[in-house]
Structures are given as C-alpha cells and as structure tokens.
Structure 1
C-alpha cells in the first residue's frame, strides 16, 4: 500500500505541474485573447442509456450505462494564440454520483513554420477504422462497448505537442509527462474473462515519476505519389495493464502494472480502385521482455492492416478491413505460459466491415459495423439508426451484440453483455 500511495502522490505532483504550465501559457496569452475577435461558445445536453438484453450485470443491475450529461466548449483566438476548453458535467444514475470532467483544455500557438499545443488534448494517428496500430494514445473501451457516442472512445492526454513544417515533410512531436492508461469495462457492469479472478487483493502501479519516464512520440508525414504517407515512433508504456503475482506458485496478491513499450510504424492512404485504400503496420517492441520469457508481459508483436472504402451508390459507403497481430518469440511464450492460462495463437487475425447509408436528405443515417475474429470465431455487431429531428436535436438507437469464440477470446468473453442503447442530444 505504501508503494501505491507514493505512486498516487507522484501522479498528483505531475498533474499539478501540468496544470501550472497550462495556466502559465493561458496567462501569457490572456492579454491578446481578451480582445479576441474570434470567440465561440457551443455545447450540448444529452441523455445516454444502455440496457442489458442478455441478463443482469455481475452486480445484478440492468443497465450498462445511464446518465444525463451537459458539455460546454469555449474557443477564443487572437493573433497567433488560441485557447480551447471542452468540459462535461454528468450524473451517473447507476453509481449515483455526479462528476465534472475536463475533456480537453489547451493553449495553441500557431505560426507559418511551426505551432505548439500545451494541455489536455486528443491525439489521433493512423488510418484504421476502430483498429489502432500507431494510434497508441488512450482509449475508453467501456464507452465503446456501452453504446456511448463515438467521440467518447478517445481519451485526452496531458502533454505538449509541437509541429514543424520545413517544406519537404511535416513533423509532429509529442511529450506526455506520465502514462494515461486505457479505460476497460468495469467488472461490476461487464462479464469478462479474468485468469486470476480468485485473487482479489490487487494494487496498481502507474509509471509516474520523474521526467525520465516521459512518453515521447513522433510522426513524420508528407504526400508521396498521391498517398498520405506517415512514419511513426512512440516510446512509453503499454496502455493495457499486466498482472504480476507476488508468488507464481501460490499467489495471494496481484500488482497491476504497465510494461515499457516502444512502437515503430508506417501508414499509407490514398485513392485507388475507385475508392480509398489504406495500409498500416507497426512493430511493438516489448522493452521489458524482448526474449518472451516473462509470461506476465506481452511479447513483441508485428501488427498490420489493409483497408478499403468505396461509395457504391449515392450516400451508401462500404468499408472493409483486414487486421493481423504476429507474436514474436512464440516458442518462449508457449514454454513459460502458466498452467491454466489460455494459449494465444501466434497469428491473431480480425476482419471488420462498416456499412453506411444516408436517407431523407441525409437527416437519417443507417449504419452497421462488425468485427469478426478470423482466428477465434468470435464477433461484435453494432447496428445503429441516427435521425436528426431538427438542426439541433438528434436521436440514435443501436445495439452491441457479442458472441462466438471462447470464454476468453476478445469478443467471446462479452457473450453475456449484449445491450441496446439510446442517445438523445440537443446541441447549441
């Protein structure tokens, strides 16, 4: 517990330092922004509800998600400076609490040859549609599986971003003082596979500390023969937690930690075959276990995807993707895999399809997205209907359906988590 407390103290110190930096930049920009000609205020109020259809939650409740939410977005710009704040206030009807959340909040400086952004920001890299290779920034998968609006899949990171534009290529450099992990479904609301479910004594270790643990990322991009071409580099930590038992033979406590990880990748996207063709690949370098001898740390991997999108008739678009993960040092993984743990395949393959049809002068959208595990035979289906009642009010109804595979496979583990959801929003 002492280690956990120290970790939380370090995290708070990092947050305070970043908040101070954002405030400092904001104060420096304030004299110009007070006379900003370009100032805007927007937002929305929203209700979002997701009801189980395959049974109760593990805690016996009926809803995966139930909340009312309001968001305010403020943007002000003057000369070379810009401030942006996006903040939510919501009430969770399941856990009976209300929270104020800063979704994004940053200060920009923009010039002809370079720009900079400091604060909480959402970063999107790569060309995949809900398949992320070089987009290693944090995601909220509970939001995705619960039927929340897609914008809530991405989480903001607290850091600094600098863009350089010398002409022959563009460069984007990002520094993140501490790792922000992915948010996975709550075990009280979702049925999920846990190989060590009997061990409830757990503590988390986050990679917070001094500046030597700062996560760094670089993207170099330019047009090449009509294709948007990018190279990527990231040195930080895995967003997905690993578990370390105190005693492998007879564990009584688990430490949740985030292994060191570097990612090297590339992507191409451009028009071809009467549509848009996409390629992306990345090498995941597991720096703490390059030999694959530690079963608690994921082995290094090579990941890749191929995607194609095309409009077949007016307002109807089809997108298909093929995705693969190839595990390095597979023989070592098999050799050291603990007894009772399910064995992963050397090559994990996945297919995805998205169908979108707009109707009624594009006020209605019919969409269908599906994952199918080519390796495990599991699937996730997401049909949705969205209708714009007015220019300011829209409603969406959809579902998340899981099944197939094994009780531990990527989507098969959620076989008892099917849900239908409703989103209704008024925007201003």
Structure 2
C-alpha cells in the first residue's frame, strides 16, 4: 500500500514538473541486466540450484529546473527463482535547493560513514541477500521514505533526516540459503514492526566539516535496530517466537584523510539499546561500542590495497551471561572482523580484477569474493565472480553459510 502511494505522488509531481521544464533539463537513462548465481556444492533448501536468476530493466529520470530537481529510479524485473515479476521503486524524490539550505522529499538512498561494507553510523536499511547472492554492489543499499534537510552555515554542514516509515534490513531467506536456526522446530513465528505513529519517526543528524585535512563527521540517530530480535513464549519448551525491532540510539563520529602515503579512516559508534540498558534481557541486544580502523593505498599505477579492522564490544556482559537461558548460544564479549580489498585495473582500465574478503579473528569464519569485470564497449559490461563461505562454527555470521557457495554472472547494457 505504501509503495503504491509513493508511486502516485511521484508520478503526479513528475508530470507537473516536466510540463514546465525544457528538454535540455531532462535526461532519461537506464540499463538492461541479466544476473545469475548458481550453487557450486549444494542445492538450495527448496531444491533449486540458483541463488539468483533474473532479468531487470531500470529507468532513471533526472529533471531540473532551478531551484527544483526530481529524480526517479525504478526497476522492472522477472525473478525465475520465485517465478514472479515485480516493479520496484528504488528511488523517487523531489529536491529544492538554495545556497544556504536544501530539502529532499521522497524515497532516497542514504550513505554515511567510512567503512568498506562495514556499517556503524550508516544505520539505514541494507539488502544482505543481494550481496550474498551476487547482485551488483549498488543493490546492497535500500531506499527509505522520508525527508532530508541540508543546512550549510560557515562553520559546518548539517544533514537532518526524518523517516516516518520503518524499513528493516533484508536478510537471506530460508528458501534460497542454508542458515543457522537456533529453534528450527518452532515454526509459529510472529513479526511486529514499529507502528507508523509520529512518536516512532526515526531521526538522524550528521554534522561534518574539514578538520586539519580530515573529513570529520559527528552522528546522532534515534530509531530502531533493523535486525529483529527473537523472544520465545517459553524458554524451556518454546512453541512460538515473537520477532520485533528493538529501540536504538546511536552516537558516533568518523574521520578520513591522507596519512602514511595513503588514506586513513576511523569510525566509532555507541549503540544504546534503550529497552535493555541494564543488559539483563538476553533477547534484546546489549549496548555496544563499535569501531573501524581502515587504511587504503595505491601501491602502483592502477593497483590499490584497502584493509580495515572492526571491533564490537558488548557492555554489561556479566548481566547478559547471568540471564541467558540454558541451551541458548552465548555471544562473545568482543567480536572482531578484518577485511582485505585488492583492485587491479588492466587493458586501459577496461578490465577490473578485484578481491574482497572478510575474516573474523574472534569467530574464525570468512567470506571470499573474487570478481572480474570487463567493459566490452562504453555501454556494455559483464562480470563474473564468486561468494565462498566457511568457518568452524555453523552458527556464526559467515560460518552458517558454509553450504551456500555460489558463482555469479552479471551482464548489463546501459543506455
């Protein structure tokens, strides 16, 4: 129902806007894309062999007439795994711009922070199934329906965001992915999202400016955790699970600038789970401190290396352990994750070879993602890659996907 209303508002506004704009102020672009990902070791839980098999048409409309701007990005696709055709509004918003401030209304993709596929202060929704099944990286981010106001006084710049309609993260589904389930026998599950009331509007603020050559940002968020927490109706003999999204506030900062012959990045955030500040409820995450330290350097022409190290420290850990029911998986106080990205451009930069990997020193699990992409022409490119998972424990973040290794192919014609 909400997406239908968004489409109506966007296209009514688009028609009124375009009728007053000249052809030179309007552009229409898009692409045709095939995206296929096949299992390499095991079939899916539903018996199929494809994680992803779809054709997609995207259209992007960009129109400007000062001080107004409209942008619409919509996808039409057919998913052969689910045998369904779908229409997705990826983005659709209006802008009003002035020299001192601007405002954006509608569905928009927001990216904050300095992490490479690690998110602390980027608290906006993600599609992790898209990433694990070999979609182009742009599909990791999901749009939110809301308003963003930018204010630009001399001493700093500010983004103020209000999101009245909650959007959760999208995680791999049990039809396409083998995953760890702590209560596989409990099939009666009820998910409750935050109600659409003014009091549940998510608010986010970013203040940023240059400080001593470093891009410096401060962040504030008040809303909800986008990963659901599960609470059984009975810890001894559960027959039903209730899934909900805990209340969350995040306070953070990031810094990025040139240092040590490369680019140095630092990001941190304090996750305040407001419903369980004492840490006594094991079914709601405890408050946490999260940090990222990253470094990127170009080693020679067209070859770059990027490394980062992420930590997640749980507060009130003794209270969590004391109240955890017997038989439930115990989380670690300190979780750590390292990443490595290698990128080499060849053949006059028409061929891109990349390697990305996560490895957790605390859990011992990993994901490896090699990819080769070639630009056949200015309008056609193709890519082939793989997602390889592993780890000694089948309940950890990447270890649970050990049976989901896949090889993917992407082909796109842009116009």
Partner deviation per Cα, 1:158-187 (whole Å, 9 max, x = no partner): 000000001100000000002110000011
Which aligned pairs between 1:277-356 and structure 2 lie closer than 5 A?
A: 277-356=264-343
Partner deviation per Cα, 1:59-82 (whole Å, 9 max, x = no partner): 111011110111000110001000
CA distance in 2, matches of 1:231, 1:346: 26
Tell whether the 8 Å contact from 1:37 to 1:78 is kept in structure 2 after alignment. no
Q: 1:384 corresponds to which residue?
A: 371
Q: 2:80 corresponds to which residue?
A: 93
CA distance in 2, matches of 1:144, 1:265: 25
C-alpha deviation, 1:15, in angstroms: 5.8
| 1:119 has 2:106 as partner | yes
Partner deviation per Cα, 1:67-120 (whole Å, 9 max, x = no partner): 011100011000100010000000001111100110000000111000010000
Out of 375, 383, 402, the position equivalent to 2:389 is 402
C-alpha deviation, 1:405, in angstroms: 3.1
Counterpart of 1:305 in 2: which secondary structure? strand
Counterpart of 2:170 in 1: which secondary structure? coil
> Alpha carbons of 1:234 and 1:28: their partners in 2 closer, same or farther (altered >3 Å)?
farther
Could you list the runs of 5+ residues in structure 2 that have no partner in the other structure? none
Q: 2:22 corresponds to which residue?
A: 35
Counterpart of 2:82 in 1: which secondary structure? coil
Could you list the runs of 5+ residues in structure 1 that have no partner in the other structure? 1-11
Moved more, 192-201 or 266-275: 192-201
Q: 1:4 corresponds to which residue?
A: none
Counterpart of 2:322 in 1: which secondary structure? helix
C-alpha deviation, 1:246, in angstroms: 2.1
C-alpha deviation, 1:156, in angstroms: 0.3
CA distance in 2, matches of 1:91, 1:195: 33
| 1:427 has 2:397 as partner | no
CA distance in 2, matches of 1:347, 1:163: 36
Out of 151, 155, 159, the position equivalent to 2:138 is 151
Counterpart of 2:168 in 1: which secondary structure? coil
Out of 137, 141, 163, the position equivalent to 1:176 is 163
Tell whether the 8 Å contact from 1:266 to 1:282 is kept in structure 2 after alignment. yes
Partner deviation per Cα, 1:2-61 (whole Å, 9 max, x = no partner): xxxxxxxxxx4x6677667656865775564x3363210110001000000121111111
Tell whether the 8 Å contact from 2:76 to 2:86 is kept in structure 1 after alignment. yes
> Alpha carbons of 1:93 and 1:22: their partners in 2 closer, same or farther (altered >3 Å)?
closer
| 1:255 has 2:242 as partner | yes
| 1:141 has 2:128 as partner | yes
CA distance in 2, matches of 1:160, 1:370: 35
Which aligned pairs between 1:197-208 and structure 2 lie closer than 5 A?
A: 197-208=184-195
Tell whether the 8 Å contact from 1:277 to 1:307 is kept in structure 2 after alignment. yes
What TM-score, normalized by structure 2, do the two folds share? 0.97
Out of 142, 147, 154, the position equivalent to 1:167 is 154
Partner deviation per Cα, 1:247-272 (whole Å, 9 max, x = no partner): 23322111111000000000000000
What is the aligned-residue RMSD (CA, Å)? 1.5
Aligned residues, how many?
Answer: 415
CA distance in 2, matches of 1:268, 1:163: 20
Q: 2:196 corresponds to which residue?
A: 209
CA distance in 1, matches of 2:97, 2:392: 50
> Alpha carbons of 1:320 and 1:264: their partners in 2 closer, same or farther (altered >3 Å)?
same
Q: 1:244 corresponds to which residue?
A: 231
CA distance in 1, matches of 2:33, 2:205: 36
Tell whether the 8 Å contact from 1:223 to 1:229 is kept in structure 2 after alignment. yes
CA distance in 2, matches of 1:423, 1:26: 31
C-alpha deviation, 1:204, in angstroms: 1.2
Counterpart of 1:37 in 2: which secondary structure? helix
